Every structure is written in structure tokens, then in C-alpha cells.
Amino acid sequence: MIANLKKGIEALGIDDKCLKIIMIQLVRLIRGGKEVRMSKRAGEFVTMDDLLEQVGVDVARWFFLERSPNTHMDFDLDLARERSEKNPVYYVQYAHTRMASIL
């Protein structure tokens, strides 16, 4: 699959060194303390668009970047939506707002 992407880039006349591919480990979605079961065959899955709609771009970006792509990840949907100090994104945004008001 990666080789095909590189060949496609080359076919477009773009240097394949401009393409940087980062492979990540599996991401498990957790809702209500339980794993969200997905099945392509049954049509039960969560797309990235669905995830971004549920939690927002900033929250999703934070949760994905706080872990190494080489480790498995449990994405807690309830925590990502929570507006309290338990949610690291909300806490950082709150701290930034407080600091900006002081300065």
C-alpha cells in the first residue's frame, strides 16, 4: 500500500521524498467504560469524520498527539467530551485562558 502511494506521487511528478507516512497502532474507542465494537461486514463502524463531529478537531488532535504512534491507544469518548479538569484538553485551554488574562 505504501509502495502504491509512492508510485502515485511519482506519477504526478512529485518527489516521493515529500511524502512522509506515519503508521499508527490500533485505536480502541471506549464509550461508557466499554469498547465500541465495530464490524465492517455488519456496517458498524466510526469514521474519522464521525469522531471529529462528536469530540471536535482540537480534542481529537490532542488525544492522538499525546501518545506515540507506536503504542496502542484507548480513545475514551466520554472523557473527550467532558468539560472538566479530567479532560486534559479542557484543562490546557482553561489554563491558557487564565494565563492570557493575567498577561
The pLDDT of residue 2 is: 82
Give tens-digit pLDDT for 15-54.
Answer: 878 888 888 888 999 999 999 998 888 888 889 999 999 9
Domain extents for the chain? Answer: 24-102
Cα–Cα dist 66/31, whole Å? 19
| Residue 63's pLDDT band (cuts 50, 70, 90) | very high
Per-chain mean pLDDT for the chain: 90
pTM of the model: 0.70
